[in-house]
Homo-oligomer: A and B are copies of this chain.
Amino acid sequence: MPKVVPEYKEEAKSRILDAANRVFAEKGYHEATMDDIAKRLGVSKGAIYLYFSSKEDLFEAMCKTAPQAFKEILYSSFGNEANPIQSATEFFDKMLKLSASDPGLSFEILSEASRNPALKRILKRNHAEYEEVLTGFLTEGRKRRIVGDNVDIRPLANSLIALWNGLETLLVSGLSIDEARSAWLEALKAIFMNQHTANHNPQDRPSRPASKTG
């Protein structure tokens, strides 16, 4: 590691976080040792403690940065006004690639969080952000008549997040990717398409009902 640069400390932290992310993802919080992380970086154990005060501290820091990728996918998929099913498909495929490298990290985080209030707070903050993105997306969707007026947007945003999270649990439980994708799309279709149907009288989009029943 080069030194003396002013942003060096941040650079170093970020390299450690990166290594930590990979090691925790591979081995889980408890199985991963500080030595594993240090070795991954080609650095001595002690060096990590120059930047993080404890394993727990490192883990929490990692939890703060981990959802960055998630957020990016969320924004890129749902941040625009695309067709929701298309957005959702895009989201699904991107997320799948992401979580492939993280088999169980999120569950490790969740199980820790269930007993660690500090971690819980971090997750809450992250969740608030996800919720906001989706709420914005759905609000926009309502304007565009893709989402019905009778829909309570915030809860629905939460249920979309829950749905994705839940599919991750099923993937770990052996559900195939195709099955997961079907489940994801079927649910999305049920949520968005039916709304559409109900809200929109056929003359509005004559081709859709046909394709459904057909």
Q: Which residues of A contact B (CB under 8 A)?
A: 27-28, 30-31, 103-108, 110-115, 120-121, 123-124, 126-127, 148-152, 154-156, 158-159, 161-167, 169-170, 172-175, 179-180, 182-187, 190-191, 194-195, 197-198, 200-202, 204-205, 207-214
Contacts and interface: CB of A to CB of B under 8 A. Distances in A.
B126 A173 contact: yes
A58 B7 CA distance: 35
Main secondary structure of the interface of A (DSSP, over half): helix
Nearest to A201: B211
Nearest to A187: B159
Contacts of A208: 213
A146 to B, nearest CB: 12
Given A110-B104, A121-B174, A205 B197 contact: yes
A155 B172 contact: no
17 contacts: A27-B115, A28-B112, A107-B108, A154-B182, A156-B187, A159-B163, A159-B184, A162-B163, A163-B163, A190-B195, A197-B204, A197-B212, A197-B214, A201-B211, A201-B214, A202-B204, A202-B205
Nearest to A200: B214
